Structure 1
Amino acid sequence: MSQPTTVDDPNKQSGYITNAMSVDVEDYFQVAAFENNIKREDWDSLPVRVEHNTQRILSLFAEYNIKATFFTLGWVAERYPGLVKEIVAQGHELASHGYGHQRATTQTPEVFKEDICKAKQLLEDISGVEVKGYRAPSYSIDHSNPWAHDELLAAGHSYSSSVYPVKHDLYGIPDAPRFPYRCENGLLEIPITTVKIRNKNIPFGGGGYFRFFPYWLSKWGINRVNQQDKAPAIFYFHPWEIDPGQPRQEGISFKSRFRHYLNLETMEKRLRSLVQDFKWHTMESVFLHHSTNPNQ
């Protein structure tokens, strides 16, 4: 992996912190936990719930006047172009989650390049806006594929949010910087939020961790990053996480079942608390557009 150069964060100079809200737009059957149980070629035959669930998220954000970054799969955009246009029309940032939700660690540089370029072109053609950001499925940029950042820069991306500085069985770079840094090639990498406790990074960026931890603990972690580190937090979640009525998968491991279905019924209530307890804006606004940064 290229040697990072830490980025000076303009938020540290402000009297308050605006955090970055993000949504990984994918459906329940596309998650990595189900990849051995649901065939990719069967996706089009399954009940699709991502459009409805994303519309619910858009309504929630509109209710609280929240702007967010939607890291959208090209597969979803291709089938629901109206959803992509609605995301942009409501003032949110459109970013890429790749095309087919394949982990970068399972792809060759050539296949990865094809995937990210296809997704970026598709999203831009549909929306009419430049797609600057990218997030790898399952945070799958790590020490094994340092070439990924070079491919992202070559494809025209300005930043990546694909590194999780934690130890996990599917992803993570535990020794990566906790805050935004420039890769050797100049690409900005924006790692997912962690809190350092006893020299260990504890995940506080959202997703399954947000459903697993009691809300007060997640709130404490974001407050600690804002107040002690004087830095913005990055929060992410998926449309399927607010959908307890989604079809249940059979034949999956206990670990996968636990991770995927835990506390789905309480997720929306927790989100409502989260958007009211903190200030939120897009990844682009918080980390790229210093001149229009809500923290300035």
Structure 2
Amino acid sequence: MPITLTFDLEDNRRSADQPARFVDMSDRFLAFAEQRGIKATVFIVGEIGASHPELVRRVADAGHEIGLHGLRHVSLDQIGPGTFQEEIIRGRALLQDAAGVEVPGFRAPIFSLTPETAWARDELLAAGFSYSSSVLPAASPLHGWPGAPREPFRWANGLVELPCPVIGRGRASVPPLGGVYLRYMPGPVMTRAARRLGGGDGCAWIYCHPYDFDADEPFFVPPYAGWVTARILHMRRGRTFERISRAMDAAGGAGPTLWSIVQGYEHATLPVVA
């Protein structure tokens, strides 16, 4: 299967005093997708539906699927049960009002659906979501769920999960098609990984963010990162579009949106995870 392109549209500024560079970078992403004829899945932070509804509308008007990336770009462990459900209901409504389309999917900020935040699965289902794309089935310096399935599966409540594509074994497992991994991994290794993941039976997808394309952004430390992590996030941004193109070409092109894939699983028997 070709590789699906996903985009996490978030505002990582420390304060409103900084320029909203994510808007221009998101428009660059939309132009790139249009040039290649790609329909992506765009997970948008709900607050952007209130602060920049015209940007959300541009995403929808271009034919991309819209998913929720949380009301705020905050990891699930910092929100907690109850409050989380209130926030995702509000965030989903903001995006639907701005875009005029349904929002069927959810991606947790920083892949923060982990064993410690497993309570979120039932709250997602209760809020009306059909699928999640929130689990990194590997160890990570931030959030991960080592031992979780690497192929699409259903939680016991029926919610479909599309885990982040990874390669490797044990603590050497990494997601080669996203973020800093996509930018830093040697080109031949990245293209081999894309070919392997795209040729599998699962759901292979790339993930990227507005800052991944912003080579001219002045350095700063975003709210969720320390200085070292911020330096890593800040470097090697100039060739991200080229890296995405190489990965997709290696795997045979751009795949369908995640929601289209989930709809194809309607009558399929997926593994069930408690």
Structure 1 length-normalised TM: 0.83
- Count of aligned pairs: 262
Contact 2:221 2:227 in 1 (8 A): no
Q: CA deviation at 1:268?
A: 2.5
Q: CA deviation at 1:253?
A: 4.5
User: Which residue, out of 122, 126, 148, partners 2:98?
Assistant: 126
| Structure 2 residue aligned with 1:230 | 201
Question: Structure 1 243/184 Cα, relative in aligned 2: closer, same or farther at 3 Å?
Answer: same
Distance 1:22 1:250 in 2: 24
**Higher relative contact order at CA 8 Å, sep ≥6: structure 1 or structure 2?**
1
| Structure 2 residue aligned with 1:35 | none
Contact 1:141 1:148 in 2 (8 A): yes
User: Which residue, out of 84, 92, 95, partners 2:67?
Assistant: 95
Q: CA deviation at 1:200?
A: 5.3
Contact 1:195 1:201 in 2 (8 A): yes
Distance 1:146 1:199 in 2: 21
Contact 2:152 2:161 in 1 (8 A): yes
Question: Structure 1 287/246 Cα, relative in aligned 2: closer, same or farther at 3 Å?
Answer: same
Q: CA deviation at 1:125?
A: 1.2
Distance 2:22 2:258 in 1: 22
CA RMSD after TM alignment:
2.0
Structure 2 length-normalised TM: 0.89
2:174 aligns to what SS in structure 1?
Answer: strand
Q: CA deviation at 1:68?
A: 0.4
Q: Does 1:18 align with 2:2?
A: yes
Question: Structure 1 192/284 Cα, relative in aligned 2: closer, same or farther at 3 Å?
Answer: same
Matches within 5 A, 1:200-279: 201-227=173-199, 229-249=200-220, 253-277=226-250, 278-279=252-253
Distance 1:250 1:160 in 2: 28
Question: Structure 1 290/175 Cα, relative in aligned 2: closer, same or farther at 3 Å?
Answer: closer
Letter in 1 for 2:198: N
Matches within 5 A, 1:135-150: 135-150=107-122
Unaligned runs of 5+ in 2: 267-274
1:24 aligns to what SS in structure 2?
Answer: strand
| Structure 1 residue aligned with 2:158 | 186
String of CA shifts for 1:35-56, please: whole Å, max 9, x gaps. Answer: xxx3xxxx32221011111111
| Structure 2 residue aligned with 1:285 | 260
| Structure 2 residue aligned with 1:4 | none
Contact 2:166 2:174 in 1 (8 A): yes
2:216 aligns to what SS in structure 1?
Answer: coil
| Structure 2 residue aligned with 1:155 | 127
Q: CA deviation at 1:145?
A: 1.5
Contact 1:194 1:203 in 2 (8 A): yes
Letter in 2 for 1:285: S
Contact 1:195 1:202 in 2 (8 A): yes
| Structure 2 residue aligned with 1:170 | 142
Contact 1:67 1:282 in 2 (8 A): yes
Q: Which moved more, 1:147-156 or 1:103-112?
A: 103-112
